[in-house]
């Protein structure tokens, strides 16, 4: 542990020195993303799936759809829930066991962005108000970690939703019947989409703002902000992390950066 702290201080000094010269440790400009790739339908047994790589950060999202009761306060709306698992194979800093603070934060940021952007028309997921709705589970698995799980997780979750299919159903005697025998999975219905969303994560190191921090920048940054926007440029959610602060002008600048960089990210969605 002590050697880790020493190396971290050396890294921090080196990265800070570069940032002061308007340089980054991997050679990118401050507003550049690393190489991005998106694949869909990568898990055959899932209702929808996607694999997203941003640099060496690699995340798979799987969608499962089931029937269940709605939340009491939204009896006529379906449910979407997001979970994240940071596998020990993804990074030496991840440990096996119950979800830690990092996995909870990733899940919450992705979940909040997807729900508040209303990518799916929740009212059309309701089958019997107050009794039966479609419940959509989005599970994120981090296969390799190199910083910025938020943007990769949001891209993967949204791409998986856009590729997902839900079974055909009918109501008989006030009961839901899944028409599994009459229809093959290829004939299932697409989810009732109404929007798309992406997130942009910006790190603050010193007085500089850097898009898409890698693992080294993540370790030494002063503060982090993740802003999720929809296709119309509406801000759907904002999450601030770390102990540092953003000034009012810096937050406004982060919003401007997000609105510009989000155009790039939307091109990767199906």
Q: Residue 6's pLDDT band (boundaries 50, 70, 90)? A: low
Evaluate if residue 32 carries a pLDDT over 60: yes
pLDDT at 188: 85
- Beta bridge mates, 169: 178
Contact by Cβ (8 Å): 57, 144: yes
With tokens 């507003």, the residue in question is 31
Structural tokens at position 42: 């990568």
With tokens 């440029």, the residue in question is 233
pLDDT at 238: 97
Q: Residue 203's pLDDT band (boundaries 50, 70, 90)? A: very high
Percent of the chain with pLDDT over 70: 94
CATH match of 21-195 with 3.40.190.10:
no
The single-letter DSSP state of residue 193 is B
**Which sign does the torsion angle of CA 179, 183, 186, 187 carry?**
negative
Which residues fall within 8 angstroms of residue 186, CB to CB, at 6 or more apart? none
pLDDT at 182: 52
pLDDT at 184: 63
Mean pLDDT of 223-232: 97
Q: Quick one: 22 exposed, middle or buried, by C-beta within 10 A (0-12, 13-18, 19+)?
A: exposed
Contact by Cβ (8 Å): 257, 231: no
pLDDT at 241: 92
- 183/138 Cα distance (integer angstroms): 24
pLDDT at 185: 66
- 83/160 Cα distance (integer angstroms): 14
Residue-wise pLDDT tens digits, 84-102: 999 888 887 787 777 778 8
Q: Residue 180's pLDDT band (boundaries 50, 70, 90)? A: low
Core vs surface per residue 155-170: b (16+ CB within 10 A) or e: bbbbbbbbbbbbbebe
Question: Which of 5-19, 24-38, 187-201, 211-225 is predicted with the least confidence, judged by mean pLDDT?
Answer: 5-19
In the chain, domain spans: 21-195
- 127/65 Cα distance (integer angstroms): 14
With tokens 């940032």, the residue in question is 19
Give the chain's radius of gyration (CA, Å).
Answer: 20
Which residues fall within 8 angstroms of residue 232, CB to CB, at 6 or more apart? none
pLDDT at 4: 45
Neighbour count for residue 64 (Cβ, 10 Å): 16
Mean pLDDT of 236-252: 95
Structural tokens at position 18: 């570069």
Contact by Cβ (8 Å): 116, 234: no
Q: Residue 181's pLDDT band (boundaries 50, 70, 90)? A: low
pLDDT at 172: 78
Evaluate if residue 5 carries a pLDDT over 50: no
Question: Which of 8-22, 170-184, 201-215, 239-253 is predicted with the least confidence, judged by mean pLDDT?
Answer: 170-184
Q: Residue 3's pLDDT band (boundaries 50, 70, 90)? A: very low
Residue-wise pLDDT tens digits, 58-87: 999 999 999 999 999 999 999 999 999 998
Structural tokens at position 32: 């550049």
């Amino acid at each position: 542990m002590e050697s880790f702290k020493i190396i971290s201080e050396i890294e921090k000094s080196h990265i800070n020195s570069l940032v002061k010269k308007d340089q980054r440790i991997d050679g990118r400009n401050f507003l550049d993303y690393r190489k991005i790739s998106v694949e869909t339908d990568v898990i055959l047994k899932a209702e929808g799936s996607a694999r997203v790589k941003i640099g060496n950060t690699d995340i798979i999202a799987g969608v499962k759809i089931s029937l269940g009761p709605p939340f009491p306060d939204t009896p006529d709306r379906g449910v979407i829930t997001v979970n994240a698992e940071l596998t020990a194979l993804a990074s030496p800093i991840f440990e096996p066991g119950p979800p830690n603070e990092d996995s909870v934060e990733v899940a919450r940021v992705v979940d909040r962005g997807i729900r508040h952007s209303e990518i799916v028309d929740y009212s059309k997921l309701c089958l019997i108000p107050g009794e039966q709705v479609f419940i959509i589970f989005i599970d994120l698995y981090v296969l390799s970690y190199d910083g910025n799980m938020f943007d990769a997780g949001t891209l993967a979750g949204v791409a998986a939703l856009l590729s997902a299919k839900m079974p055909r159903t009918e109501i008989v005697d006030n009961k839901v019947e899944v028409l599994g025998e009459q229809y093959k999975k290829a004939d299932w219905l697409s989810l009732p989409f109404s929007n798309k969303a992406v997130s942009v994560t910006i790190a603050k190191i010193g007085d500089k703002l850097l898009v898409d921090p890698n693992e080294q920048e993540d370790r030494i940054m002063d503060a982090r902000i993740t802003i999720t926007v929809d296709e119309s440029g509406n801000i759907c959610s904002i999450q601030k992390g770390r102990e540092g602060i953003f000034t009012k002008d810096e937050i406004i600048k982060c919003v401007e950066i997000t609105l510009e960089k989000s155009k790039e990210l939307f091109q990767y969605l199906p």
